[in-house]
Each structure stands twice: as C-alpha cells, then as structure tokens.
Structure 1
Amino acid sequence: MPAPIEDYALLSDCRTGALVSRDGSIDWLCLPRFDSPSLFGALLGEQEHGCWSLRPADDAATSQRHYVSDTFILVTRWETSEGVAEVHELLPLHPSRTDVVRRIVGISGRVEFVTELRLHFDYARRLPWVRQVGTASEPALLAIAGPEAVIVRGVRLVARDHRHRGAVAVSAGELRDLVLSWFPSHEHPRRPLDVDESLASTRSWWQEWAAGTRHEGPHRDEVVRSLLVLRALTNRDTGGIVAAATTSLPEQFGGSRNWDYRFVWLRDAALTLEALIAHGFLDEAHHWRRWLLRAVAGEPSEVQIMYGIAGERDLPEREMPSLPGYEGSAPVRIGNGAVDQYQGDVIGEVMVALEAARMAGLEEGDFSWPLQRALIDEVVGSLDRPDNGIWEIRGEPRWFTHSRVMMWAAVDRGVRAVREHGLTGDAERWERTRDDLRREIDERGVHADGYFVQHYGSDEVDASLLVLPQVGYCAPDDPRMLRTVTQIERTLISDGFVLRYRTETGIDGLAGGEHPFLACSFWLVEQYAATGRTADARELMARLTALANDLGLLSEEYDVAGRRQVGNTPQALSHLSLIRAADALGGHRGRAADRC
C-alpha cells in the first residue's frame, strides 16, 4: 500500500525525480528521465512493484524530516530507544551519470537500519538478472534487465523471493553510504561515486541557484520553494519543463481520471517560464526558448500542445495493467492521448510568455521571432475551429471562452511586438483579427446576466475565466469579471476551494468527479488581490499554503473532507500559481499590468 500523496518528498537531479515516503521508502523512480519506465513503481501498486526501503530496525522509531536549506537534499532524523541517526538522500547533479545516494549518519548511541530492495524494471513488467559483483569489504549488487542496469553499493544484500535485504548499524560519528547507480546495460558499471564531493557540489548548485531569486512581498519561503520545484521539473540538458514528476495519481481515489503528466505542455511550460522570468531567472527563459524552437520546428499547422522532454512528438496513450494503480485507481496510463487534441489557448500562452521574456531583456534571435510570426498566423488560420480547451476535455469540442481569449492574446502580442518593439509583421491584419475576436467574445462569451461563460451558448462558468484579467483582456474590476467571480463563488466553490468546472454537466465526457483544483484557487487569490478584496485574498492564500506538505510540496488537487492531496505531484501548475498569487498579494500584477 503506497503512502498518502502528501507523505512523499521529491529528490531531483533536474533530469528525473524520486519520491521518498516518510517511512523511508523510495516508491517511485524512473531512470534516467522523468518519462522513462519506472524502476520503482510501488506508488502505483504495492511493494512488489518496486521500491527501496531504508529505516531503523526498531519499529517504534520516530522521524522528522526537512530539506537542507534551498535544496532537494532530504534529511530524515530517526530516533530510537538506542540512539539517533540521520539519512541524507539526494540525486546528485552530475553531467554524465545518474545515482541515488542514501547516506546514514550516526548522531548518538547506536542505530541499526534495515534495507529492502525490490527491483522491478519497465513499469514492473520485468524482473532483472541479479548477481553479487563486490567483495566482502565492498559489497555490490548488479541487476540487468534488457537495455538497463543498476549497481547498488554500500551494503551486502541477500536475495529472498525477488527481494534483497540487508542491515547496517551506525554509532555516533559514523557514516555509511548506500548508492544506486544506473547505466545502459551494454556499458561497464559506473565507478563508485565520491559521495562527499557529490553532496557538496549538489548543495552548492541548488543554493546558488536559489540565491538568484528576486521576490518582494509575502510568503517568501513558499515562493522560493515553489521556484525550486519548477527548476527541479526542468531538464537541465534540454530545457523541457514537465508538468509533474508522476503519472496516474488519481483526481478521484478509485476512479479512472488518471493521467500521465511527465511531459512538456506548452501551456504549463510557458506559465512556468513567466514565473521564473518574474523572479530573475532569464537564463532559464533562454534555455526553454531554444527547446521550443527545436520542438515545434517544421510546419506550424503541426504544432502540438505537448511534447516529450527533448521535444519528442510521439506520445501515444496506453494502459499499463502491470501496475494496479494508486489505491486501486485504474487504469494506470503511460503517454497522454491529449497530445492529439486541438487546444486553442496554447499558442496564446506561449506568445504571452515570450513577450514577458522580451520585456525582461531577452533579445530575439534569427529564428525566434519568425517562429512567433508563424504561430500567430497559425492562430489566425484556426479561428473557425472549436477546441478541447485548457482542461483537455474528452467530450465534444466547444467554443471555449478562455480559449478564444488566449487566441486574442496571441494576436495582441504580435501587434505589440511590431508596434512597441519594432519587429516585422503584418500588424494591420493582426489588429483587425484581434478586434474582430474581441467583438465576437464580448457578444458570444458573455451571458445575458453579464458574466463570462465557460463556452459559447452555456450558462456555466469555468475557473479558467479567472485568467482573463491576467492576460489583459479586461480589467480585474470590469463589471463582467466581477459578476463572473460571483458566479464562480456560487457554483464552483467546494469546501472553500475552487473546482475547475462542474463535472456533473458531462461536458468532459468522463465518468466520476474530482476535487478542488489548487491552481484555480490561487487564481482566485490573485483576482481578489487585484480588486481590493485583500482580506479575502490573504485568508484564502493562508488556507492554500497550509495544504502543502511538511516540505512545501503541492499536488494537483486537494480532498478537503479526507484532508489529503490528490493528483500528480509535485505539480508545476500549482506551484507557479502560488508564486503568482504571492506576487499579487505584494501588489504586483505581472504580465497584465499595462495590457488592460
């Protein structure tokens, strides 16, 4: 049985991530990238689907944990009746190898640890061939499964029923290092890792990066941790930014709304880019823009809403019956069928983010602006297409108001690039298109009662409408926006937090429901702050930040009744929305400040 979602810590080397439970079990790890097949898959099943536990032999041991300041080095302090010891865990940032380090540090007395390793490669579909390759003084276990292999050093592991167990004891001042190293099976095993050097260099890298944060306003600790999460989800080789570290953590426990988020959504990545730019990280903007140029290179009409971490296009969705799902939430899905959807808002998000980069001082290259011109022309050529919307509905495409506004934003940023930044483009034609879109939205996207609607012809509202002031379509205090907020408060607030939309309308074509979506509630904080509802904004922000786990991590949704995090974790959209909400509470309107 996996732990509650909020009980997991993230380790990251900016290529992949491991999820470690409070009990000291690594229950999720895909090597060498976030989107690789899992080595440890117990998160989506049971221990038999792969995990690596390390904890005191004393079942009564208690623990506390924290990250080393501004890093993803996890320290778990264990207290037993015989002593105190710590486990320091990390994925070292190394240019050419992937390792998991678990250092045991004796603090006082004597503590015996037990470890159990269950290696199940390829989403628990493949048991490896395993053999001892070390010596009595330097034990090592080698496991090979097809193209992949790992070597585990630091403790002698004895096989029993497809699991390997070992024990190690430390006294005050003693260290024991357990290290798992991944490598392609056709190569030689990696040399033993210099753990001291890896700890020092990894700590310095994270702390030096975090030291570049610019933030003036409340919730600084939460903002810095959220920025670190966004960096942890950004591949340091390619620049691709994944939406979350996991797949198939459910939106409803026991339900089928289980999706693979280990890919680069243009929307989520663009929003992440804006958050990073707003806090001083322009190098990341440059890196992601290069990723974008490579990923979408080719015919503009073939632009996808999402790509693989290196820009891969083929991301077919399939079910993985080898993993039974988190608490039985099936099916587990690998890949994402939304890759084939048309979502009209995506290019608008990209254009808004690239304008933010341009305004922050990132110069346009030989290909970056021509690409943006091509994207704008693709928007103009798609005006007569309904879409699947920001929430990737699997029902009938609609004329979603949010999508139409983001198409307006895409063309608007093109006009401004020419008029305000001196770039080349058919600004007159784009202006006509932009103004026609506004007239259409104002006519068809507004209810007779004066509020914006989820889609043309609907009486419903949608939390995505809270984004309209953020991109400058209207002022936060526009009467239509205020009425929209009233409707959202009346129909989409559940237990004090915001739902994306009412699932019972059947618009998404899926069975079951879901819990409040954290990003949407942070959007409401931003809206409250922008319209002078400061007390409401602060109160909602306080309740939202309290939902993070003890390490400051947020998943996608929250089950208020069960007091549990829900959905894939840690979720980039939740964290970047937290950052925006904190900025709004500090009086910063960001990208829409001069656009209304």
Structure 2
Amino acid sequence: MRIDAGSGPQGRRLPGAGTSPFPPIADYGFLSDCEANCLIAPSGQVEWMCVPRHDSPSVFSTMLDRAAGGFKVAPYGVREPTARRYLPGSLILETTWQTRTGWLIVRDAMVMGPWHHTEERAGRYRRPPTNYEAEHCLLRTVRCVSGAVELSVLCEPVFGYGRRRARWEFSGPGYGEVVTVGGDEGDPMLHLTTDRRLGIEDSIAVIRSRMTEGEQAFIALSWGSLPPPRTWEEATRKQWQTTEFWRQWITGGEFPDHPWREELQRSALTLKGLTYAPSGALVAAPTTSLPETPGGERNWDYRYTWVRDSTFALWALYTLGLDREADDFFAFIRDVAAEDDLQIMYGIDGERDLPETTLEGLGGYDGARPVRIGNAAVHQRQLDVWGTMLDSVYLHAKSRDQLPEPLWPVLLRQVEQAAAHWGEPDHGIWEVRGEPKHFTSSKLMCWVALDRGSRLARLRGQADYARKWETIAEEIHEDICRNGVDDRGVFVQSYGTTNLDASLLLVPLVRFLPANDPRVRATVLAIADELTRDGLVLRYRPEQTDDGLTGVEGTFTTCSFWLVSALVEIGEVVRAKALGERLLSLASPLGLYAEELDPVSGRHLGNFPQAFTHLALINALVHLIRAEETNRAAQFAPAHRNT
C-alpha cells in the first residue's frame, strides 16, 4: 500500500485530500522514550517534538504550522514512501522508499538505555527503582538495499512553539556534528551527529549524499548529557538496545493467544510510550490543538494526566499483567492526592497549575484555531474524580490483598469529600464549559467512591467507616435510580432531562447494577441505537448539551469501545464483536487511534494518539476474548444425564 499526505486510515482517500499540505492525523507515526516523544509524517519529516518532556515547548511544530520547522530524512525529490510499519513488539518505525534508481530503508527510534536498574530518583515523587533509562536521542538509521539513492536530510528546529529559529554551529572535528547556539534561556541545546558530511544553510542543517547498495548512514539528534553516537557501530548498538528494551518489556505482559494479540500489544506499547517515567504519570496524548472539528475551535492541550485515566489504566494494565506500569501510575495518583484536595488533572510531574493560553504565532492544524497550551479544565469541578481515585485504590489493594498504611489518610479524605459533595452540580466527565448540572455519571462515580471506600474500610477492619459509607452509597444509589432514569427505564445525561450520554455505559462496568437489570439493558441499547452516527458512539448530542462551544465533533472512539464492553456485559456478544471488528478496521495504518472518528470517511480527529482510546480498546477486546472463551467452554462442556 502506498501512503501519501491525502490517504486516510487503511489508505482510504479523504474528502478534500490533496488540497491540504497537512497529512491526515492518522498518518503520523509515534515514537517515545517515556520522557519525550515525536510524531513523524509519511514524508519522513518529524513534525511534532517536545523536549526534554512530553509537555515542554516544541522544537518542531510543523504539525501545527507548515513554516514551524521540521526534521526530514528521505530520498531527494520523493514524496511518498512505499511502506511503513513498526518493527514487531517495538516503538521503532521503519519506512521503505522506492525511487527510480534504488531502494532505501529508514529506521527511527528514540533511544532507550540498556535494560538495567537505575538509582531511585530524588524529589517529591520517590518511587521504586525503574529498570530502564532514556538517552534523550532521536536516532535515524538509513540503509540502501538496492541500486543507488540520493539521500536528503533537512533539520530546522524552531524553539518555543515556533517562535525562535535555531542557529547551528559546527562542533568537534570534521563536518559530522553541529550544535544549536544562542538560544533563549530554557531552550534545549540540540546536537546533530552523523557519519555523513553536514552543511549549514541559514537555520537548516543539511545533508545531500549519494548512497549505493549496501551503504549505511545514521543521523542522531540529541538533547541530553549522554554522548550521542558518532560512528555507525555506536548507532546500531543503540538501536539494537532500544529494540531489546521494547521487546523485553512487551514480553513481560500476559497477552492472550488470539488473532487480536497484535492489536493488544500495539495499544500496550502506545500506552507505555505515553508514560512519563520519572513520575509514573500517563499523558492523555502527546499533542495539543489537533482539532475535534475540522477547522473549528475544539482544540485542546492533552499533554497532561487526568485522574480518571487511572481507573481505566489500571483496568487495562493489570488485565495484561503489566503490573509495574500500573503500580507506577498508581504511585503518581497517590502522591498528588497525599497533601491537597484532589484535582481532575495534573502536570506530568504533579504540577497543579496549568494556565491555558493561546499561541498566536502558529496557524493551527489545517487552519484550526486557536492553538492552545495549558488547560483551563484543571480548575473545573468534576465530582467523578473521587470515584476514579477510589476505584484505583480498590483495584490496587485487591490485587495485593492489602491496603498500604500510608494510603489510609488519603483515602479517608477523598471518600469524605465525595460524601459531602455528591449532591452538588458539576461540569461532568466531558468537561463541558457551560453551566454546571447534576450529571448522572458524576453521581455514579460518587457512588463508586463510597462503595469502594466501604469495601476498603472493611479490608482494614474499620467497621464504623464501612457502615457509614455503605449507608451513603445506598442513598446515592437510590437518588440515581429515582432521578437519573427516564420513563423508558434509561439512564439519562443529567437530572430532569431525557438526553442520552455515553458515559452511562459505565453503569454495568463499575458494577452499579447487575448486567441483567432491565435498566442496564435499556440504557446500553438506547445508546447503541440512538446516540450513534453510522454505528459509532457520540459522547452526547451537542444540540442537547450546552458545552459552551461551536461546531460538531466526531464520534468519540473511547465511547465506541465502551459500547463493545457494555454489549458483552448484557449478552449481545455477536453485536459487540461486529462493532469491535469495525473499530479495529478504522485504526490508523500504524495501529493508532486519535480521540475521535468521522464515521463516514474514517478520518481521525482530535489529539493523537490518545491514551483513553487505547485503554478502552484493551478492555473491550479482553471482554470479547473472555466471552468467546466462556461460550466455547459452555459449548464443549460434557452433558449430564440421569442414570
């Protein structure tokens, strides 16, 4: 399959494709070293990269403005690669190029250090030692496998979200190394090293080199204290150790022997790449301001961690046997909640203040403005945060059959907060920027907080707290069943309305009611039949919900995967499998998902790749696989006869 700037998922042609200089969101490849990341277009150009952290100012912003710098490695004059893939079990991207005179293979990786134990990091967030270390280097290796190819490399950093072009100077002997100089305070110092001859043209580091069959080259962009590779042998060793890191990591998981094993592994690798190793946080996505509405204003910065993701992260990661990552993320949530009231979101090192501002200097992805950094939702009141926190604690404690003593004061404060405020209005799980309401899903998650809190109290032998919280949980349960259900027996978005909301698919998933309860079945089927567009799930109907924004968003991919899980819960396995297979067919060519999908064209919308979607994918596929196993076991169970 040939991929170009106008091809959508699985190579489908998108409306208007070819008229925009921006590649479709789904066509980007994602690389990470668990501290920083980058996105690479099919053209071989790095178009988004923030260093030294996921949420740092960008050094390449071409994804949001075609004039905002990039780092391209490709054959000269060739626009389209022949094929792209991740090396199996890794986050190493391989791109194959065919020219009129030869073939070239480029492999891109963000270098991981050897698989070893490092010292515990100092600072507030003290956690058990990790078993890897990033080397802060984007390594790009090139091999001519046939004929002869003219290699072209262009590296043009623009610091501070497109504000300041870098200036290169030669360093070291010969012409194989350049370094950025004269930047503003806070700009990273970038080193570019290669075994080819570099040139400097204005603010661009340039390579033009003819390669013949069997010849190899490397180009390394680094920003840390460790020395970059300076020879082909060093470069290949670092690429090999990175491959080994990812493959050893994925081997530590427990993946079912099933045709969907590869999809589960790709989602797990993506989630690992979205973690921030120094703190254990999980970023919602590596990007900012990729539009939910083409050309519209629904553009947000997702380079932070949401507490509610902890619940879904732990569900997914524990399910796959990836306990270390689940524990790291849990430790992050535990730490940020230890001293202050729990926020809905944090910076990736626990920062509590994430001021939202608009960048005037970037034109936006395909003209979608504003371009935002920071996120004002950090100050919203969302009552579900206590439930997600307590569900995480409960899952963690249940897996260990104990609750660590230092957690009890944290837990106590959060449950008491839910008990005191569950009856108040809020902005809801979708962070609507309209007036606060009594959202049913917010009450649902407050019930989760009290229910899980009472169970944990019993685990500790705290009978008084357990009885008290059970009583309040019953009160919330009765209130939801009285005010959050319409005349059809369907759970509704907010009290006093008949609006549907996809967050109510969580009713059976958090065990609020058994799956065979008529209200559960009615809610799941109503959402499946009425809150969908061409079979994919909307979060809500914008015309029914004052979310404070203009424009129409796409279908929300996380919610579509929730529907798969909920359909399995109510016994609609055939329908669930059909939806699951359709969603898998809509993955990007590299197996990734943005936040939303246009159900007609398959176009990916919103920030990319999105952790929430990959978490929901794992849970949905595991639901389906277990249902298949249960049905198979029942089918082949021996019949009992009276004798």
Whether these two folds match at TM > 0.5 is: yes
Q: Which AA in structure 1 matches 2:137?
A: D
Does the aligned pair in 2 maintain the 1:88–1:103 contact within 8 Å?
A: yes
Residue equivalent to 1:149: 189
Percent of pairs with identical residues: 37
The answer to whether the 8 A contact 2:156-2:166 is kept is: no
Structure 1 gaps of 5+ residues are: 590-596
Q: 8 Å contact 1:140–1:156 — kept in the other structure?
A: no
State which drifts further: 174-183 or 399-408: 174-183
DSSP-derived class of the 1:458 partner: coil
Instruction: Select 2:105's aligned residue among 83, 86, 93.
Output: 86
Aligned to 2:117: none
- C-alpha displacement at 1:157, in angstroms? 4.0
Question: Contact 2:166/2:180 (CA < 8 Å) preserved in 1?
Answer: no
Return closer, same or farther for 1:64/1:144 CA change in 2, 3 Å cut-off: farther
Counterpart of 2:278, as a letter, is D
Partner of 2:301: 260
Per-residue CA deviations over 1:113-142 (Å, capped at 9, x if unaligned) read 111122100101112232222443534343
Aligned-residue offset at 1:58: 4.2
Task: Report the CA distance shift for 1:67/1:326 in structure 2 as closer, same or farther (over 3 A).
Answer: same
Instruction: Tell me: CA distance 1:130–1:423, structure 2 relative to 1, closer, same or farther (3 Å).
Output: farther
Q: Which amino acid aligns with 2:78?
A: D
Partner of 1:52: 71
The answer to whether the Cα contact below 8 Å between 2:54 and 2:276 also exists between their aligned partners in 1 is no
Deviation at 1:143, TM superposition (A): 4.2
Q: Cα deviations across residues 514-573 of structure 1 (Å, max 9, x unaligned)?
A: 000001111111111122222211111111011111211111101133331111011011
1:431-488 CA-to-partner distances (Å, cap 9, x unmatched) read: 1110110111011101122111100011101000001100000122321122223332
Q: Which amino acid aligns with 2:608?
A: T
Q: Secondary structure at the match of 2:469?
A: helix
What aligned pairs does 1:111-130 form with structure 2 within 5 A after superposition?
A: 111-130=149-168
Shift in CA distance, 133/419, structure 1 to aligned 2, threshold 3 Å = same
CA contact (8 A) 1:218 1:585 kept: no
Per mean C-alpha deviation after superposition, the further-off stretch among 64-73 and 524-533 is 524-533
Q: How far apart, in 2, do the equivalents of 1:97 and 1:532 lie?
A: 48
Choose 528-537 or 408-417, whichever is displaced more. 528-537
Give 1:213 deviation, angstroms.
Answer: 1.9
Query: 1:314 is matched with which residue?
Result: 353
Query: Offset of 1:159 from its aligned partner?
Result: 3.8
Letter in structure 2 aligned against 1:274: W
Contact 1:20 1:28 in 2 (8 A): yes
CA–CA separation in structure 1 for the residues paired with 2:83 and 2:172:
33
Quick check: 1:242–1:269 contact (8 Å CA) kept in 2?
Answer: no
Corresponding residue for residue 179 of structure 1 = 220
| Residue of structure 1 in register with 2:369 after alignment | 330
How far did residue 292 of structure 1 move? Answer: 1.8
- Matches of 2:237 and 2:420, distance apart in 1: 55
Residue identity in the other structure for 1:198: K
Q: Does 1:479 align with 2:499?
A: no
Match of residue 220 from structure 1: 261
Mapping 1:354-503, distance limit 5 Å = 354-361=393-400, 363-420=402-459, 422=461, 426-503=465-542
Instruction: Find the residue that maps to 2:190 and give its secondary structure.
Output: strand
Report the alpha carbon displacement of residue 97 of structure 1 after superposing the two structures with TM.
3.7
Superposed displacement of residue 344, structure 1: 0.8
Tell me the number of residue pairs that the alignment of Structure 1 and Structure 2 aligns: 583
CA distance in 2, matches of 1:448, 1:61: 56
Deviations 1:479-515 (A, max 9, x none): 1122223332343110220100001124211111100
Query: Is the contact between residue 295 and residue 367 of structure 2 (CA under 8 Å) also seen in structure 1?
Result: yes
What is the TM-score of this pair, normalised by structure 2? 0.87
Cα offsets for 1:332-368 (capped at 9, x unmatched): 1100000000111122112112222222227432312
Asked if 1:22 corresponds to 2:62, the answer is no
Give the alignment of 1:123-138 within 5 angstroms: 123-136=161-174, 138=176
Bigger mean CA deviation after superposition, 155-164 or 366-375: 155-164
> Which residue of structure 1 aligns with residue 242 of structure 2?
202
Partner of residue 593, structure 1: none
Question: Cα deviation per residue 1:264-308 (whole Å; 9 max; x = unaligned)?
Answer: 100113311221011112222222222123222323xx2110001
Inter-partner Cα distance in structure 2 for 1:555 and 1:352: 26
Which piece of structure 1 moves more, 132-141 or 555-564? Answer: 132-141
Q: Which amino acid aligns with 1:5?
A: I
Mapped partners of 2:268, 2:376: distance in 1: 29
Q: Which residue of the partner structure matches residue 351 of structure 1?
A: 390
Q: What is the CA distance between 1:232 and its match in structure 2?
A: 0.9
Q: How does 1:505-544 map to 2 (within 5 A)?
A: 505-544=544-583
Give the Cα–Cα distance (whole angstroms) in 2 for the partners of residues 85 and 385 of structure 1.
61
Check 1:314–1:275 CA distance in 2 against 1; reply closer, same or farther (3 A cut). same
2:143 corresponds to 1:105: yes
1:62–1:80 contact (8 Å) kept in structure 2: no
Residues 1:567 and 1:61: Cα distance change in structure 2 (over 3 Å)? closer
1:244–1:569 contact (8 Å) kept in structure 2: yes
Looking at structure 1, the residues matched to 80 and 597 of structure 2 have their Cα atoms a distance apart, in angstroms, of 29
| CA–CA distance in structure 2, aligned partners of residues 281 and 539 of structure 1 | 28
Which amino acid in 2 is paired with 1:110? A
Contact 2:275 2:281 in 1 (8 A): yes
Give, in angstroms, the shift of residue 162 of structure 1: 3.5
1:188 and 1:208 mapped to 2: Cα distance? 23
Deviation at 1:88, TM superposition (A): 0.8
Q: Contact 2:166 / 2:203 at 8 angstroms: preserved in 1? A: no
- 1:128-165 deviations in whole A, cap 9, x for unaligned? 23222244353434344223210111144434454333
Residue 219 of structure 1 deviates from its aligned partner by 1.6
User: 2 CA distance for matches of 1:472 and 1:207?
Assistant: 36
Q: Which amino acid aligns with 1:67?
A: Y
Comparing 515-524 with 122-131, greater Cα deviation is found at: 122-131
Kept in 2, the 8 Å contact 1:218–1:586? The answer is no
Q: Give 5+ residue unaligned stretches, structure 2.
A: 1-20, 114-132, 629-643
SS class of match (2:38): strand
Cα RMSD, aligned residues only? 2.0
CA contact under 8 A between 1:293 and 1:367: conserved in structure 2?
Answer: no
